[in-house]
Amino acid sequence: MAVATARTVSLQGAVGHVVDVQVDVSQGIVAMVLVGRPDASINEGRDRCRTAIANSGYEWPSTRRVTILLSPADLPKRGPHFDLAMAVGVVAATTEGFPVESLERTVLIGELTLDGRLRPVPGVLPMTMAAAARGIDRVFVPEPQLPEAAMVPGMSVFGMRSLAQVVAELCGNEVPDAPPVEPLSGSPLLSWRGEERLTDLDLADIDGMEDARFALEVSAAGGHHLMLSGPKGAGKTTLAERLPGILPDLTLEESLELTAIHSLAGVLDPGSGLITRPPFVAPHHNASRNSILGGGSGRVRPGEVSRAHCGVLFLDEFGLFATDIIEGLRQPLENGEVTIARGDETATYPTRGMFVVASNPCPCGDYHPMQRDNNCTCREVQRREYRAKLSGPIVDRIDITRNVTPVRQGGRGRDPLGNEPSAPVRERVMAARERQAQRYVDRSWRLNSQAPGPALRQDWPLTDDAQQLVDDHLLSGALTRRGATRVHRLAWTVADLAGRNQPGRGDARTALDLRLGKPLLVSAMQRRAG
């Protein structure tokens, strides 16, 4: 009787589990049996492995019973990346003198073709991260995904082209030549759009709109959600597209998290390497619930809200999104994560990005509160139904509200600081975030928008007169308890931008105006220059 154990990783959402692939080759009824809750793609791997082993020059035990246990047996397993571990386990169990000790502290990831070549699979980075967390320090992956796996510090990564190369490396023999492995996906065919175009956008392109620009800066500094409302052509999309340009580069921890999410979603460009810039994701309003929140048939994949982690999710024409999508955003907006349950699989993905929602005041987009500028052709009942989709609980979870109005002819240059470019704004945002990093150095959150209300009230309170101002609005019904907490967070961000050690009454007043959508004082916006 011959037994060998190889290892691979099973993904459940954003959580990776190291799986022992135990292979037993013994006398009995000739068959290949897979146990341990494999899915259809793993069951089909039996035929891929048998043919790949034979075509790679190794002997398949055709007169014996092959039993493969995927342990732990109660964990559902999915994906064709189990192929390599199963095939190596069979070769190790049937080859005389195979150094079984070489499989210790080693993870094998890859799909096999019938001729024994390796194929890339999605999720290599989170699999490698999970293996490293379990003390494993060596991983074999398809050659194009070597840079992806090498992002994990302290991991020895082997990029291989075929099963024969993997076995030769494990046995300490000369590695044979093999044809190159095709990457998981090719280069994009349509290249005139994409995130690259955002690098050419600058705040200096925006005329006027002082309060909206300041709201954008506060949103970026503290990671606050933002709602832009106004008639069509007012500049809502123009503002939102320039928000990534004032965000600092991602930290190493954030880069690994985001790159792992993109790997799980199967959208990571093989040649892109570690993602270092905050993403900008703008799904169309007719996108499905699964594509935005995550899900899908079979393996649960992260949605657009998770792909925008540590960046910006822009939901233009928010009122046109399906009602179930809008209501489904409650958890991501409040908790910074989304949990998806599909049958026997439950996956939780992070969504700690900034939500920027833009909405017209009516279906035609021409409604204006000033009668002289109002060109709306909608009936009042249509306007009410359109606004009713933005339910109170959703709006209450958005930190900043701004009403954007078109800049009139001759309005250029009315900003107290001029048409300031993105670079100096980004410097202030970085300084404000550095203050937050120092303040929350021993906490599990990074930004003011993520700080829990009880911790803020206990450890980082407002001054007495600032707290009294917030309490007055709470007692009058202008704020909910959740809204008061968000004003507290905003006040800290305004203070961080100004370099103050504690938010005062003026910071609380500015935070209230940002929260309630009221016009901002010029003096409040000028404080960002000091």
Residue where a domain terminates, one of 398, 432, 459 = 398
- Residues 91, 165, single domain; the answer is yes
Residue 38 DSSP code? B
The pLDDT, as a whole number, for residue 530 is 42
Q: Which has the higher per-residue pLDDT, 56 or 412? A: 56
Examine the domain organization and report whether 120 and 245 are in the same domain: no
pLDDT confidence of residue 28: 87
Q: At what angle do helices 505-516 and 481-498 cross, to 10 degrees?
A: 120
Candidates 385, 396, 386; CA nearest to 334 is 396
For residue 353, tell me if it sits in a domain. Answer: yes
pLDDT digits (tens, 9 = 90+) for 143-162: 999 999 998 999 999 999 99
Report whether pLDDT(359) > 70: yes
Chain mean pLDDT for the chain = 88
C-alpha distance from residue 78 to each of 10, 90, 223, 244 (Å): 7, 20, 35, 36
Cα–Cα dist 277/255, whole Å = 8
Domain containing residue 373: CATH number? 3.40.50.300
* Other beta carbons within 10 Å of 203: 24
Instruction: State which amino acid sits at residue 316.
Output: D
| Domain end residue (candidates: 398, 424, 445) | 398
Confidence label for 332 from pLDDT (cuts 50, 70 and 90) = very high
Instruction: State the Cα–Cα distance between residues 275 and 254, nearest whole angstrom.
Output: 9
Judge if 30 and 59 occupy the same domain: yes
Q: What is the mean pLDDT of residues 385-409?
A: 81
Q: Indicate whether 332 and 442 sit together in one domain.
A: no
pLDDT, residue 314, reads 96
Position 384 scores a pLDDT of 78
Whether residue 369 is predicted with pLDDT greater than 70 in this model: the reply is no
Q: Is 1's pLDDT higher than 50?
A: no
Contact 37, 17 (CB under 8 A): no
Q: What is the pLDDT at residue 133?
A: 93
Across 262-280, average pLDDT: 83
CA distances (Å), origin 37, targets 40, 71, 72, 239: 10, 9, 9, 50
| Res. 295 pLDDT band, cuts 50 70 90 | confident
Task: Please compute the mean of the pLDDT values over residues 217-234 and round it to a whole number.
Answer: 92
- Helix then strand then coil, in percent of the chain rounded to 5, is 40, 15, 40
User: pLDDT grade, residue 371 (50/70/90)?
Assistant: low
Whether residue 366 is predicted with pLDDT greater than 60 in this model: the reply is: yes
The backbone torsions φ and ψ at residue 265, rounded to the nearest 5 degrees and listed phi first, read: -75, -10
Domain range for 150 = 2-171
Q: Once rounded to an integer, what is the mean pLDDT over residues 498-517?
A: 94
350, 365, 398 - which closes a domain: 398
**Residue 298 confidence (pLDDT) above 80:** no
The reply to whether 410 falls in a domain is no
Residue 243 in domain: yes
The per-residue pLDDT for 480 is 93
Is 181 part of a structural domain of the chain?
Answer: no
Do 443 and 373 share a structural domain? no
Run of H or E residues at 513: helix 505-516
Q: Which residues lie across from 112 on neighbouring strands?
A: 118
Looking at residue 230, its pLDDT comes to 85
My answer on whether 390 and 257 are in the same domain is yes
CB atoms within 10 A of CB 221: 30
Q: Is residue 195 part of a domain?
A: no
Higher-confidence residue of 320 and 424: namely 424
pTM of the full structure:
0.85
The answer to whether the beta carbons of residues 37 and 72 sit under 8 Å apart is no
Task: Please give the C-alpha separations between residue 50 and each of 86, 111, 333, 530, in angstroms, as whole numbers.
Answer: 10, 13, 48, 70
Q: Are residues 389 and 503 in the same domain?
A: no
Number of Cβ within a 10 Å radius of residue 476:
8
- pLDDT given at position 241: 93
Which pLDDT band, with edges at 50, 70 and 90, does 170 fall under?
Answer: very high
Q: Are residues 387 and 445 in the same domain?
A: no
What Å distances lie between residue 378 and 367, 374, 430, CA to CA? 8, 11, 44
How many domains, in total, are found in the chain? 3
Q: Do the domain assignments include residue 206? A: no
| Tens digit of each residue's pLDDT (9 = 90 or more) over 89-138 | 999 999 988 999 999 999 999 999 999 999 999 889 999 999 999 999 99
Cβ contact 240:316 at 8 Å? yes
- Tell me whether residue 189 is in a domain: no
pLDDT band of residue 221 (cuts 50, 70, 90) is very high
Positive/negative CA dihedral, 258, 310, 132, 73: negative
| Rounded CA separation 268/255 (Å) | 13
Are 373 and 510 members of one domain? no
296 and 161 within one domain: no
CB distance 23 to 3 below 8 Å = yes
* Nearest-angstrom CA–CA distance, 130 and 124: 10
The size of the chain, in residues, is: 530
Structure tokens at 127: 């699999």
- 403 has a pLDDT exceeding 70: yes
Residue 405 lies in a domain: no
The distance from CA 406 to its chain's CA centroid, rounded to whole angstroms, is 33
Given this model, what pLDDT does residue 529 score? 42
Number of C-alpha atoms within 13 angstroms, CB side, residue 186?
A: 4
Of 97-101, 196-200, 207-211, 357-361, where does the model show the most confidence? 97-101
Residues 450-503: tens digit of each pLDDT:
999 999 999 999 999 999 999 999 999 999 999 999 999 999 999 999 999 999
Q: In terms of domains, do 36 and 89 share one?
A: yes
Regarding whether 58 and 158 lie in a shared domain, the answer is yes
Nearest partner of 389 among 325, 294, 338, 331, judged by Cα: 325
- Average pLDDT in the 429-452 region? 94
* % of the chain at pLDDT higher than 90: 65
User: Span 44-56, mean pLDDT?
Assistant: 95
